[in-house]
Structure 1
Amino acid sequence: MKRKNLSIFLLLFVGFSSLFEGCKSSDVDATSSTSTSTGTSTGTTTGSTTSNSSSITTALAVTATTTTCNSTGVAQIVCLAEAFKATLSSTQLAATQLTYSKTNAQKWSNLPAGMSARVGINLGSLSDTQLAAFRNLMVAVLTLGTTDEGYDEMIGNLVADDYLSSIGGGSTYGAGNYYISFLGTPSTSSLWAILFTGHHYTQPITFNAGAVTGVTPAFRGTEPQAAVTAANRTYQAFEQERVAFAAMLTGLSTTEQTTAKLSGSYSDLVLGPGQDGKFPATKSGLQVGTLSSDKQALVLKAIKLYVNDLDATTSAAILTKYTSELANTYISYSGTTAMSSQGDYVRVDGPSVWIEFSYQGGVIIKNTPHSHSVWRDHSGDYGGN
């Protein structure tokens, strides 16, 4: 009898131990990782970080579309938006389909959604079918096939946030905390917008009368700045931009750098979230029109890394305008020209374009800088509404 009781006890012990281990695993975000980042407060882009992707980023990384929306342009985007909406329950749809208003359009931030509320429905609540429909929509509005730009940059940002969740950020971070909403009913004849927003990534696209009327304010950033490997892919979502700005600034002569240098220091963006319409009355820095053609090309290259995130038709129209205004655009910076140290800051300010890049202290990964950046348009934010 004692042996029988002992056997029962051992079976129960093993069972509860397995259950306990399973619970511990589920308490961790869907990503598991080991950090091998070698970054410091300067030169933080070397090394790599390993992270297994969450089920969300794994699903979204499959870029092949499965849709019957065979129209083109805005009509196709409307079709894809409606196809996504058709996968939602009535409760989900009520959270996603909202009225177009200033209050709703301004619901974006560089903070995680748990610290700054968003509108819409979060990716973590979507099924595989719903994620596929969301993917089809975003593939249509962002460029596809360029490493760490456009749609690939979006995925890299989500992967990085999964990593932050797994190393101590907790449930506040991660791909599941990014939100999609429609402000106004998708249409080829009226005003409406797509708003996709979460920590370190915001992309609005405003439409009116069947045309894209605005794609800003668009926020980009990433922590870690170093590469993140997930599902056999390596992402470094916002490194090209940092490198492009460094090339732009280090390519200037000593005299030009002196003219471009700002007098103050900048720990973050000037026109980040909540700072709509507060463009400086006077431009600062170095006028691009005074530069040689090769140096002007470096300025334009940096601008393109933002604009070319969008679909080819939309980006071409915006670049035509920004290129025509390039001579009257100004560049300025604070800190070092290498854009590799905490406190480094650069700005591009044109008649239309406004881009800021700030290299600032880490939040989850201490003593390791990461990037914040915002792209605005003097007259085109929120589609000019």
Structure 2
Amino acid sequence: MSQTTLHTETDYFVTDIANATRRYLDLLDAGQREHAIRASTDDDLRHRWGYAPGTRPGLALGDLRRDQRKAVHGLLTAVLSPHAYTQAAAVMALEDVLDHREGGYRDRHSGDYWTMLFGTPDGDEPWGWRIEGHHLSVNVLVADGRVSATPFFLGANPARVHYRGRVIGQPLLLEEELPRELLDRMGPTARDLAVVSELTPQDIRSGNSPRITPSEPAGVTLAQLGKPAGRLLLDIVRLYLDRLRHELADQEFARIDQDRLHFSWEGSLRRGEGHYYRVQGPELLIEYDNTFNEANHIHTVWRRHSADFGDDLLAAHCG
């Protein structure tokens, strides 16, 4: 793909995001706008993200009119690939499933997802938005025609819904199955390098920190895997990056230093038992954790070491 084509596609992508954001803004009254918009320079609020249950700044989906709720979903579809939007919608719907399972004592609801804008798409200044609630956080920033979309978190509880022993719902299916396939496909020497611990962390190690704490890469490298297994590792990376529309996912994949990728696994290899994996590179961190509820509660995140929240784009804009 030529650079001209890439830039043209990116321009269309940015236009789509801007138009979706304007459609949402046009539906808000003055009082809603007061709660919905903060400055793109409000780094404290932009960096204060999370994936646990609880209220957020901004406007809750459940408090909006039908047309306004559809406009929020329009923000998601402007940025996410079709399959990732399906995952995000399923994650939000699972709040009602979880609330029923718990007997309603925590008063969960699929409307408990908040939208906060940071700036607006009119003018030359950077702008963006966050849509966030339990097990979902999508952070978008646009500056000078470029787009950032990390941290990007998806989780699921329950991760699998069963009927008579058969799975009828599993929104993060490939996030578990592809790494298991990778472990099966790699040889014993590579597997010994990849499985770094029999114990699992309690959660993704990066948590909801605004910055990733640097850590020494662990596990097996792409070169140590060989070609068939190595291609599968790249498929796992693409799975996470392809949560975004291809215009941005392709750019992100092109930036990855493939020779310095590491894959590591912690915990049990048996299904139904706690496990964790990570894919790590100089500017890439992918984490997956599934340790609670008999390994039926998944957390996944994609982050970039020096570019989360579009801070690299903001620095370039101000520099």
TM range (shorter): 0.7 to 0.9
CA shift, 1:73, in A, is: 2.3
Match of 2:4 in 1: none
Match of 1:274 in 2: 209
Query: Does residue 292 of structure 2 align to residue 361 of structure 1?
Result: yes
CA shift, 1:369, in A, is: 2.7
Amino acid at match of 1:167: R
CA shift, 1:153, in A, is: 0.7
CA shift, 1:315, in A, is: 1.0
Map Cα deviations across residues 297-341 of structure 1 (whole Å, 9 max, x no partner). Answer: 11111111211111121111112222xx12210111111345x34
Within 1, Cα distance between the matches of 2:308 and 2:139?
9
Q: What SS does the corresponding residue of 1:195 show, helix, strand or coil?
A: strand
TM-score normalized with structure 1 length: 0.72
Match of 1:202 in 2: 137
Percent sequence identity is: 24
CA shift, 1:257, in A, is: 1.2
Query: Does residue 175 of structure 2 align to residue 175 of structure 1?
Result: no
Which of these residues, 314, 317, 323, is aligned with residue 251 of structure 2?
317
Pairs within 5 Å for 1:243-322: 243-263=177-197, 265-274=200-209, 276-280=211-215, 282-322=216-256
Match of 1:112 in 2: 53
Within 2, Cα distance between the matches of 1:111 and 1:326?
32
Which of these residues, 263, 275, 280, is aligned with residue 331 of structure 1?
263
Map Cα deviations across residues 69-89 of structure 1 (whole Å, 9 max, x no partner). Answer: xx9321232122111111112
Query: Does residue 67 of structure 2 align to residue 129 of structure 1?
Result: yes
Which of these residues, 32, 52, 69, is aligned with residue 92 of structure 1?
32
Q: Unaligned stretches of 5+ in structure 1?
A: 1-70
Q: Which has the larger radius of gyration?
A: 1
Q: How many pairs were matched up? A: 295
Pairs within 5 Å for 1:65-80: 72-80=12-20
Amino acid at match of 1:377: R
Aligned Cα root-mean-square deviation (Å):
2.1
CA shift, 1:261, in A, is: 2.1
CA shift, 1:219, in A, is: 1.2
CA shift, 1:165, in A, is: 1.7
Within 2, Cα distance between the matches of 1:163 and 1:260?
35
CA shift, 1:224, in A, is: 0.8
Within 1, Cα distance between the matches of 2:132 and 2:297?
19
Within 2, Cα distance between the matches of 1:275 and 1:107?
7
Q: What SS does the corresponding residue of 2:77 show, helix, strand or coil?
A: helix
Match of 2:316 in 1: none
Within 2, Cα distance between the matches of 1:297 and 1:277?
27
Q: What SS does the corresponding residue of 1:332 show, helix, strand or coil?
A: strand
* Distance verdict in 2 for CA 1:156–1:222, change over 3 Å: same
Q: Unaligned stretches of 5+ in structure 2?
A: 1-10, 313-319
TM-score normalized with structure 2 length: 0.86
Map Cα deviations across residues 130-171 of structure 1 (whole Å, 9 max, x no partner). Answer: 112222222111112xxxx31111111111112112222636
Amino acid at match of 2:234: L
